[in-house]
A and B are shown apart, each in its own frame.
Chain A
Amino acid sequence: MELRRLARYDALIFTSLLWFMAKFVRYLFPPLFEPFQTAFGVSNTATGLAFSALMTVYALMQFPSGVIADRQGPVRVIAGGAVVATLGSLALVVPVPLPDLAVPVGPVASVPGEFLAIVGGMLLIGVGTGAHKTVAVRLLAAVHRERTGRALGVLDTVAAFGGVAAPLAVTYALPDWRGLFLASALLVAALTVLFVRRTPRHLDDERATAPSGDGGIDGSLAGYLRLMTVPRVGLFVGVTVAFAFAYNGVVAFLPLYLTEAAELEPGVANTLYSGLFVVSLVQLGTGELTDRVGRLPMLFATVGAAVVGAALLLSVQGVVAVAAAVVVFGLGAHGFRPVRSAFLMSLLPDDAAGGGWAWYEPC
């Protein structure tokens, strides 16, 4: 009986687990920066650029994956993305002896070929995981029309634990980090098979995609750019750009900062990094608090907490104080997300909100 009830949610379960794995594989990399630097003799710039490359192709996939999903259906796009991400993980399982790449300018003469192969795998992971979120949101909105908010909450909450699990898995696996990617590839392959087998029965032709709501501002880039000329919108885009830059920079290099600057043991550093994602559960509460105390006060509270956390991180010593700094930063940074969404929706005209969101996400 219980299993039969659970079967009603199998599309939600497998979509969420695939998104969990996407986050898991992405957040395996920051704790691996130090092992990569030791093994391949590459710099912080090189590892940072590799992670930026992953994030860039991830971002670039958002729009085309939505367009392809309109034609091919969401199940094919999500499954296709998962296959590409699986191939990316498999590319990291064994060393690939590519030739070194000569760099004509800059402080380094060449980039090791083996590291280039890792970057290639990271790019595939970025492309594959980039196909998931936008399409998954529309898939779940179509399958769970009556409880879309709850379904999307499950999707994001489950995925948050991908960030919790990844650094702990790296601590457990080191020095044999390549096995993590083999395990990830096998898990994603299995989940993809289950997703493809179980999800289509929830979709008929009419419900294959939720309305995309491209709004009444003609859907063109120029139309969305005109929105930026409204001072409040332009200023808030500035807020999110500054915030996104700071958050992603911290998230990419926090494990190294904790070991190199805060002088913590790698295992402790990875545990604190994992804690940064545990506190992302705060977003379940800040969304609701926003309705009670107002959007602007909550924006000040969350961004202010992130500022305090970052300041503490730079000024305190000792594992307890540093852990407190990470938690305060995480509460602010993750708490900001639902408040940001709510504030943006209040800025945009009703008929532009759906498309406006799609335009705004790449900022």
Chain B
Amino acid sequence: MTAGAVAPGVTGFLIDTQGYDAAFTALGGGLVVALALLGVIAVLGDAA
């Protein structure tokens, strides 16, 4: 929830300074990071 709570403020700042596309690309990047970490969990399997 902490990451979720700060997200609107950070997103608003990114929109003001970089524009909508850059801000939403950064948010999409967060999802890609989540997917990549899931990949690591899958690869490591029970060893993790």
- Give me the interface of A with B, judged by CB distance under 8 Å: 43-49, 51-52, 55-56, 58-59, 62, 231-232, 235-236, 238-250, 252-253, 256-257, 260-261, 296, 299-300, 303-304, 306-307, 310-311, 313-314, 361-363
Contacts and interface: CB of A to CB of B under 8 A. Distances in A.
A106 to B, nearest CB: 10
A118 B28 CA distance: 30
Interface residues of B, number: 37
Contacts of A303: 31, 34-35, 38
Given A43-B12, A245-B7, A246-B7, A300 B38 contact: yes
Contacts of B12: 43-49, 252-253
A261 B24 contact: yes
Given A236-B41, A242-B33, A310-B24, A248 B7 contact: yes
B3 A241 contact: yes
Given A231-B44, A252-B11, A59 B20 contact: no
A128 B25 CA distance: 33
B24 to A, nearest CB: 6
A58 B35 CA distance: 27
A48 B24 contact: no
Given A300-B35, A314-B21, A246 B27 contact: yes
Contacts, number: 164
Given A43-B16, A235-B48, A307-B32, A249 B1 contact: no
Interface in B1-47: 1-13, 15-16, 20-21, 23-35, 37-38, 40-42, 44
Contacts of B4: 55, 59, 244-245, 247-248
Majority secondary structure, B binding face: helix
A246 B21 contact: no
Nearest to B2: A362
B8 A253 contact: yes
Identify which of A44, A252, A299 gathers the most chain B CB atoms within 10 Å of its CB.
A44
B44 A232 contact: yes
A241 B3 CA distance: 6
B41 to A, nearest CB: 5
A329 B35 CA distance: 14
A235 B41 contact: yes
A253 B25 CA distance: 13
Most buried by B among A46, A62, A245, A260: A245
